[in-house]
Copies of this chain bind each other. A is one copy, B any other.
Amino acid sequence: MKPNTKFATPVLVVLSLLVFAFNPVQENKNTAPPDPLPSWNAGTSKKAIIDFVTKTTSKDSKDFIPVADRIACFDNDGTLWSEQPMYFQLAFAIDQVKAMAPQHPEWKTTQPFQALLEDDIHTALAGGEKAIGQILMTTHAGMTTDVFEKTVKDWMKTATHPKTKKHYNEMIYQPMVELLKYLRLNGYKTFIVSGGGVDFMRPWVEQAYGIPPDQVVGSSGKVKYESANGKPVLIKLPEINFIDDKEGKPVGIHQYIGKRPVFTAGNSDGDYAMLEWTSTAGGYPRFGMIVHHTDAEREWAYDRASHIGKLEKGLDDAPKYNWLVVDMKNDWKKIYAFDKMK
């Protein structure tokens, strides 16, 4: 049968137009796809991340990971936002002590509160973990969860960092925000696994990182349910429930997430156990990342000798476990969104 060419030609024209319209990927055949990590400089770090995501999400790859198992865990302090000159949660607690001081005249003569009120942080924290515990319990307990949430939100809107003069939630790392988004676009479920307080993080991390409250694992105090007159509340008690740090991190991952991650990022030896827990799991390829603070100019430079964010064992064992050590100074075009591109 002779083909009806009069009919076939326009059909092909329309079909090709429609293929064009319905396949935007083919439309830009000669244009590179947009860079998923624009704040990362080209180099081995960026390449390692993209290679891992590509090979674990390509259907025909031997390293393919089903969506249900694409679990990615991120430390917060020093990994997603800054932690100098002190953990931002401690800055919050100190501001709360000052705000609460009028109701506590006894603090004028009681340490560590007296020193805090005199802006003598050094003396206040000389008492070590005990002093910090007192400050945290005083400012993080004895109120309802609703009141605490509002207090955190209000502080985030008003308080500013002594060095940058920016709000604390502006001091999140733009390259890491891009990495979180890139992972999610590729079917990864992103979690925070932080030593910080979960009630301190949840009010702002969804907006900052796109991570919803139920995907935030952190340290916590006990809470108590009290119901009177149909107005139930949860009261924050001055009692530790869980410390999500060091060996507590794999424990937290088990208790709250229930699956071993395939991608984990941290910055200090407090993250060593969860990186180890990730990298030794087998089955799938696993990715461990350490954010190395190497930029004294745009952020801070510290590792082995630092009191906050000490990183020693992690650096020593990074080659053994093939952990990617990200060099903030050279790998990142900018640290914060408000930075100019390097």
**Cα distance A254–B214 in the bound complex, in angstroms:** 9
Q: Are B206 and A68 in contact (CB under 8 A)?
A: yes
Q: Are A214 and B213 in contact (CB under 8 A)?
A: no
Beta-carbon contacts under 8 Å, A216-272 to B = 216, 220, 223-225, 227, 230-232, 234, 241, 247-248, 250-251, 254-259
Whether A277 is near chain B, meaning CB under 8 Å from some CB there, is yes
Whether A276 is near chain B, meaning CB under 8 Å from some CB there, is yes
Q: Report which A residues bind B (CB closer than 8 A).
A: 6-7, 10-11, 14-15, 18, 22, 68, 71, 145, 189, 191, 198, 202, 206, 212-216, 220, 223-225, 227, 230-232, 234, 241, 247-248, 250-251, 254-259, 273, 276-277, 280
Q: Are B225 and A247 in contact (CB under 8 A)?
A: yes
User: What residue of chain B has the Cβ atom nearest to residue A227's Cβ?
Assistant: B276
Q: Are B212 and A214 in contact (CB under 8 A)?
A: no
Q: Are B225 and A273 in contact (CB under 8 A)?
A: yes
Query: Which B residues lie within 8 Å of A230 (CB)?
Result: 276, 280
Q: Are B273 and A220 in contact (CB under 8 A)?
A: no
Query: Which B residues lie within 8 Å of A259 (CB)?
Result: 213-214
Known: A213-B257, A250-B225. A232 touches B276 (CB 8 A): yes
Chain A to chain B contacts (Cβ below 8 Å), 15 pairs: A6-B6, A14-B15, A68-B212, A145-B254, A189-B214, A191-B214, A198-B258, A213-B259, A214-B258, A225-B250, A225-B277, A231-B280, A234-B251, A234-B254, A241-B255
13 more CB-based (< 8 A) A-B contacts, given A14-B15, A230-B276, A232-B280 = A10-B10, A10-B11, A11-B14, A14-B14, A22-B22, A189-B214, A198-B255, A213-B257, A214-B258, A223-B254, A223-B255, A225-B277, A241-B255
What are the 8 closest A-B residue pairs judged by CB atoms, nearest first?
Answer: A213-B258, A225-B247, A214-B257, A202-B258, A225-B250, A14-B14, A7-B10, A11-B14
Nearest CB of chain B from residue A257's CB, rounded to whole Å: 4
- The residue that A232 contacts in the complex, of B68, B213, B257, B277, with Cβ under 8 A, is B277
**Cα distance A241–B241 in the bound complex, in angstroms:** 9
**Cα distance A117–B68 in the bound complex, in angstroms:** 39
**Cα distance A231–B258 in the bound complex, in angstroms:** 18
Query: Which B residues lie within 8 Å of A227 (CB)?
Result: 273, 276
